[in-house]
Amino acid sequence: MTTTPLSPIDLFASALHIHPDGVVQAAERRMTSSDSGACQIATFRVEADADVHADHWEMHPEAEEAVCCLTGGVRLYLRPTGPGGTEQMVPLRAGTAVIVPRGRWHRLELDTPSDLMSITLRHGTRLEKRTDTR
């Protein structure tokens, strides 16, 4: 049983890290790789494409990622899996989510300012600058 006093956690300022042993902690949000072994739940207010690094592809080699749209609207793009393929686009509206497969490159673009939540194991996370920007 915990003896720590209960208090609210600002999900827009901190992340929640869920460790394999069941411990849940408020922690600094990390968008790059982490060796903590914890799954991260992070919530973001985003106003522009730059806030979701739309000019980069992102990939999580060790886990799937749940991308959740809490308010607003975004488009999630999956990079083609082979030469000559086309991007797959998944529209997300308020109250919807998509699960990005492990190891699949993806990116976001905004339709409107939004509140988003991501849930994934960040270990090994990679970012790659887009070369196909319009």
Q: Is residue 47 part of a domain?
A: yes
Q: Is residue 48 part of a domain?
A: yes
Q: Is residue 3 part of a domain?
A: no
Q: Is residue 4 part of a domain?
A: no
Number of domains present in the structure of the chain:
1
Q: Is residue 39 part of a domain?
A: yes
Q: What's the CA dihedral at 106, 107, 110, 116 to 10 degrees? A: 70
Q: Is 0.85 topped by the overall pTM?
A: yes
Closest CA to 40 of 54, 24, 53, 56: 24
Q: Which residues of 49-88 are buried (b: 16+ CB within 10 A; e: fewer)?
A: eeebebeebbbbeebebebbbbebebebbbbeeeeeeeee
Domain containing 99 — which CATH number? 2.60.120.10
Q: Which residues contact 11 (CB under 8 A, 6 or more apart)?
A: 41, 43, 117
**What are 76-89's pLDDT values in tens digits?**
999 998 888 899 99
Residue 53's domain spans which residues? 15-129
**What are 29-83's pLDDT values in tens digits?**
876 666 678 899 999 999 999 998 889 999 999 999 999 999 999 999 999 988 8
